[in-house]
Structure formats: C-alpha cells, structure tokens
Chain A
Amino acid sequence: MKEALIAKLQAGRPVHLSESEAAYLTEALREAVATTLEVPVAEIADGSLVFDDLGLDSIDVFDVLDQLSEQFEVPVALEELPETFLRGNEGATFRSFAEGLLRYFREAPVPPTPPSDAG
C-alpha cells in the first residue's frame, strides 16, 4: 500500500486517492501529530481541537508536515494547505486537519504568481 501510494503522490497533484489510501494518509497524519506532541496515538481523537485541546503550535505544524514529507517522499507546501492548519484557527479539529490534507493532495497545485513589475 505505502509504496503504491508514494508512487501516486510523487506523480504529482491532483492525486486520485482511494478510500483506503485516504484512510492510510489520515492515520499517518495522526501518528505524526502524536510523535510531535510525544503522546500516545490514542490521544489524538477525530474531534480533538488540535490547537486548544492537544496544544499543537505553529512550530509543531511544521514538524508534522516534515514527517509526512519524509515518510511519503513528497514536499507538503504549507502555503497551499487550508487555513485549518494555521494557528489562528482555534476551532480546527484533527478531522478538519485530515480533510485539509486530503484536499491538498486531491487538488491541483496553485500556479506560482508571476513576479510583479510594480515597485
């Protein structure tokens, strides 16, 4: 499963993820959050508020994304992730984190903005 998923992710976004692949990515995200926070995976419930309940901070989000990059051998660009990953989103749950990550892989990358001539 993992090798096939890595190959799909490396082929570039958008990625068509099957249900089992989406579930695999979700659990990988849960494990990464647990590793970052140094807590058992069981403590990362779907409905946990990642910033308020679990205590994740913005540096921790970087660590989580780096673990996923390392594991799946693809970069994960913070700037293209949904706002749920930002510290200011106090209502973000683990479920919304996972949904945001899956949406990131399922959507085409945002084309880079051409440099402006102004100023």
Chain B
Amino acid sequence: MVTHARTEPGGAVVVTGIGLVTALGFGVEANWPRLLAGESAIRGLPSERFTLPIALPVRLGAEVPRAELAERIRGAVPRSVWNTSAPECHVWLLAALEALAHAGLWPGEAGDGAVPMPDADRTGIYVGTGGGAHGFAESEYIRVYTAEKAVQRDVSRFAIPMYMASAFAGQLSILTGIRGPALALNSACSSGSSALLTALDALRLGRCDRAVAGGADLTLTASTLKGFANLGALSLDTAAGPRACRPFDATRAGLVLGEGAACLVLERAEAAARRGATPLAVLMGGAVNAEAHHLLAPREAGEGMAECMQAALADADVVPERIVHVFAHGTGTRQNDACEAAALARVLPQGPTVSATKAQLGHTLGAAGAIDAVLAVRGLQTGQAPPQAHLTQPDPACPVRALREPAHTELGPRGDPARAVLVNAFAFGGHNASLLLGPALAGGEGSAHA
C-alpha cells in the first residue's frame, strides 16, 4: 500500500515556494484573506458560457475568469509558450511561476529578466491533472462544427501538443530550463496530491534535489458539468448560489465544480540550505492507495480512506495526536463526507479541527489536493486556516470538529515542531492520497519529526 520511499537521515523535504490560482484570485495572497473570511467563489454562470447542444440542469461553478487568465499568461510568458498551450496549461504555468518566484528561482512580476535555474538538471516537474486539456479538446470539436469561416472548421495545427497532459510539464521545462524528470500524473481528483508524493519519492531517492510539483484543472466545460450531473454528484441547489456546496452539513446536496492550480517548490533540505533558501514548511510524508472496490464510491465505512491516512502517518513517522488540523477532501456529497468523517474518527479520535475548502473554491478535481497543500503551508506559517464555510446544520453522520473561526486553529506559530496538518484527496476509481505537512524549524532546515 505505501509506495513512498522513507526519508533518509538528514534528507527532509522542505517547501520553499508556493503558488496558487483559484476562482477567488491569482496568487496566494489574493486568495488567503478571502478564504479566511469564508468567501465563496461559487456563482451562477451565463448560459452562453456553455455551447454544447446539451441541456444542463445547473450552471453553478467557481470559474477562473478566462479573460484575466489570457491577459496574465500573455504578460508572463513568451508568445511561443502561450500560443502553443491550452488554458489548462496556462493556469498551471501561472501557479508554477509564482511558486518559483516565491522560492527565488524566477524573476516574478517585478523581475528584470530570467534568472538561470540553478541545478536545472537536478530539478524535476511533477504535475497532476484530472482532465488535462479536456476543455481545449471540447472547444476544438465545437469549433469544427460551428465556426463561421470554413478555414476555421479544422483541427488546430497545435491540437496534439496542446491536448496532451504531459505538455503541462513540458512547457514549464521549456520555459524555465528545468531538465530533470518532467511528468504529468493522473489519479483523477487526487492527481495533485499524487504528483506531490511522486515528487517526494524522487527527492527522497535522490533522483533530483528540487521539484516543482502540484496540480491543475479547468473543469467548467459543458461535458464535465453534465457528466457529474448525470452521475448524481452535482449540487443542483441553484437557489443557494454561493452556498451550494455544504460539506458535512445535513443539507448538503452535492459538489460544485471549481477551477484552479497550485504549485509547491519542494527541495531536499540540504539543497535549500546550500542556496540560502528559507523553508516555509516540511512535507513530512504521505501515502496513496487504491480502494479495489468501486469506480465511483468509497468503501462504506471509509476503510480505504482510513488506511491511506494511517499509511501517511506511518510514512511520516507521526503519531495521530500531532495532527491539529485536517484539510478534508469534503466534497459536499452525501457519501464522500460521511465516509471521510468515519475514517477521520477512526484514525484521529482526538478530533482535530477540520475544514473543507471546496465549500468556497468548488471541487477543482486534480488541483484540489495541491491547493489544500498550499493552504496548509500558509496555515503553518500563520497559525490560521480557512473556516468550514456553509456549515449551519452539522450532520450527525459526519462527526467532525469543523473549524468555525480561522483564528481558532491550533496550527501554532512557525517554529513549533509539535504540529502537523493532514491533507486528504480522494478520487473516482478509488485513488486515495493523504499528505502530512509540518512547520519549518526556526533554524531553517530539517524536518519536524517526533
């Protein structure tokens, strides 16, 4: 079950940069205060947003605005990159460049030119995506059938390199000069977490010294929306608007799709120290497993989820009592939330605080685990976490200790080694992933092991 190589002595993996794009904003700092305030990015979307000739029962979502995305990517990368990549790749690139800039490895918005990537051949890229460039592919089909001009009714010359999910990693490599492993991974809604754990393995094994890892998905296409609706997973509670996704609430009615990307720069502690980088947190360990049960549903009492969390604790050598906060998968569906709550009660009986950010950001599919990992890092730095939004009638079947106020978290100040945060991501197909993050030591390097 545990697929992750254990940390060698002195081989802790630290986070030195974070980047984030969600429907709430571009950049970590554009998101963080709004998340702490409980703000929701979920809203009704105009019908002209969806051009496939299929009836949609609901048009709610947390959308990354396309016009701003296009403007930002054109300001951030050369034409040769943005013109040959899909919007799904653009959102990933923006998150990755923010994380690299944060880590001091990219000039950033105020930069005056590219900086040479140090140890480029010892740096890897690991990006998870559930749908890849699905939206781009859908738009290609729509264009072939509906374009006004005959010359436009054809497949783009760049269709293949734009459609392939590996382009997320390839384009970042071409842009930055990173020459180590460059992989795109898919485990549906746990893809981002799987990418982070694959990067962790590579760092522990010494296959690279640094990794740019995370996840990205743009989910709000007609076929994705209708697909989730046809499975009965989507909240049809249009009247609730921004409150349509209510994880762990007795009235929860399903998930709402969201969009985004998140990226973490991970480094072997000694490599980060060598270049004078400041660790923000420690990626202590994690686990992935498979349910071997059902394509769409977890085992009823959350056994597979619990096994994954326990394996993550063992991998990180962390006792359950040290977990003070959980970023739950918390989709807002009846079954997921009940199963996850049961699993949490079994693995963490002391009852750490819990929040599920999908209430505010929607379900960003392959980006979700990475987004929560970025928020966990921010939480470990500040001692805060987003509260559980839209929880007014706690479901007795979901006995979690939901975080009501962001200031009430027990994440603790930076430098306190006795705290750890659990990040869960579970997926169709039974792909579970759990990550554990801890605070960076005040001295700057090393792990927060017990």
CB atoms of B151 and A74 under 8 A apart: yes
CB atoms of A59 and B84 under 8 A apart: yes
CB atoms of A73 and B149 under 8 A apart: yes
User: What are 9 contact pairs spanning A and B, CB under 8 A?
Assistant: A59-B84, A62-B157, A62-B158, A63-B84, A66-B157, A69-B151, A73-B149, A73-B150, A75-B154
With an 8 Å Cβ cutoff, the count of chain A residues facing the other chain is 14
A60 at the interface (CB under 8 A from B): yes
Stretch in B75-83, B136-144, B226-234, B371-379 touching the partner: B75-83
Q: CB within 8 Å of B: which residues of A?
A: 35-36, 38, 59-60, 62-63, 65-66, 69-70, 73-75
What's the minimum C-beta distance from A87 to chain B, rounded to whole angstroms?
Answer: 14
Chain B residues with CB under 8 Å of A62's CB are 157-158
| Distance between Cα atoms of A73 and B153 in the complex (Å) | 11
CB atoms of A60 and B80 under 8 A apart: yes
| Distance between Cα atoms of A70 and B149 in the complex (Å) | 9
Closest chain B residue, CB of each to CB of A63:
B83
| Distance between Cα atoms of A60 and B157 in the complex (Å) | 12
CB atoms of A36 and B79 under 8 A apart: yes
Chain A residues with CB under 8 Å of B158's CB are 62
Given contacts A35-B79, A38-B79, A60-B80, 19 further A-B contacts (CB under 8 A): A36-B79, A38-B78, A59-B80, A59-B84, A62-B157, A62-B158, A63-B79, A63-B83, A63-B84, A65-B157, A66-B156, A66-B157, A69-B151, A70-B151, A70-B152, A73-B150, A73-B151, A74-B151, A75-B151
Closest chain A residue, CB of each to CB of B150:
A73
Chain A residues with CB under 8 Å of B156's CB are 66
| Distance between Cα atoms of A59 and B78 in the complex (Å) | 13
Chain B residues with CB under 8 Å of A74's CB are 151
| Distance between Cα atoms of A75 and B11 in the complex (Å) | 56
**Closest 4 pairs between A and B when the two form their complex, measured CB to CB:** A73-B151, A62-B157, A73-B149, A38-B79
What's the minimum C-beta distance from A104 to chain B, rounded to whole angstroms?
Answer: 15
What's the minimum C-beta distance from B144 to chain A, rounded to whole angstroms?
Answer: 14
Give residues 117-174 of B contacting A (CB, 8 Å).
149-152, 154, 156-158
| Distance between Cα atoms of A74 and B153 in the complex (Å) | 11
| Distance between Cα atoms of A79 and B400 in the complex (Å) | 63
| Distance between Cα atoms of A73 and B100 in the complex (Å) | 41
| Distance between Cα atoms of A63 and B161 in the complex (Å) | 13
Closest chain A residue, CB of each to CB of B174:
A59
Chain A residues with CB under 8 Å of B151's CB are 69-70, 73-75
Chain B residues with CB under 8 Å of A75's CB are 151, 154
What's the minimum C-beta distance from A15 to chain B, rounded to whole angstroms?
Answer: 15
Chain B residues with CB under 8 Å of A66's CB are 156-157
| Distance between Cα atoms of A74 and B154 in the complex (Å) | 11
| Distance between Cα atoms of A66 and B162 in the complex (Å) | 15
Chain A residues with CB under 8 Å of B149's CB are 73
| Distance between Cα atoms of A74 and B158 in the complex (Å) | 17
Give residues 54-95 of B contacting A (CB, 8 Å).
78-80, 83-84
Closest chain B residue, CB of each to CB of A69:
B151
Chain A residues with CB under 8 Å of B84's CB are 59, 63
What's the minimum C-beta distance from A58 to chain B, rounded to whole angstroms?
Answer: 11
Chain B residues with CB under 8 Å of A70's CB are 151-152
Chain A residues with CB under 8 Å of B79's CB are 35-36, 38, 63
| Distance between Cα atoms of A1 and B151 in the complex (Å) | 20
Chain A residues with CB under 8 Å of B78's CB are 38
Chain B residues with CB under 8 Å of A35's CB are 79
| Distance between Cα atoms of A38 and B82 in the complex (Å) | 12
| Distance between Cα atoms of A75 and B149 in the complex (Å) | 11
What's the minimum C-beta distance from B147 to chain A, rounded to whole angstroms?
Answer: 11
What's the minimum C-beta distance from A41 to chain B, rounded to whole angstroms?
Answer: 15
What's the minimum C-beta distance from B447 to chain A, rounded to whole angstroms?
Answer: 43
| Distance between Cα atoms of A36 and B84 in the complex (Å) | 11
Chain A residues with CB under 8 Å of B154's CB are 75
Chain B residues with CB under 8 Å of A65's CB are 157
| Distance between Cα atoms of A70 and B83 in the complex (Å) | 14
Closest chain B residue, CB of each to CB of A35:
B79
| Distance between Cα atoms of A73 and B151 in the complex (Å) | 6
| Distance between Cα atoms of A60 and B149 in the complex (Å) | 24
Closest chain B residue, CB of each to CB of A78:
B157
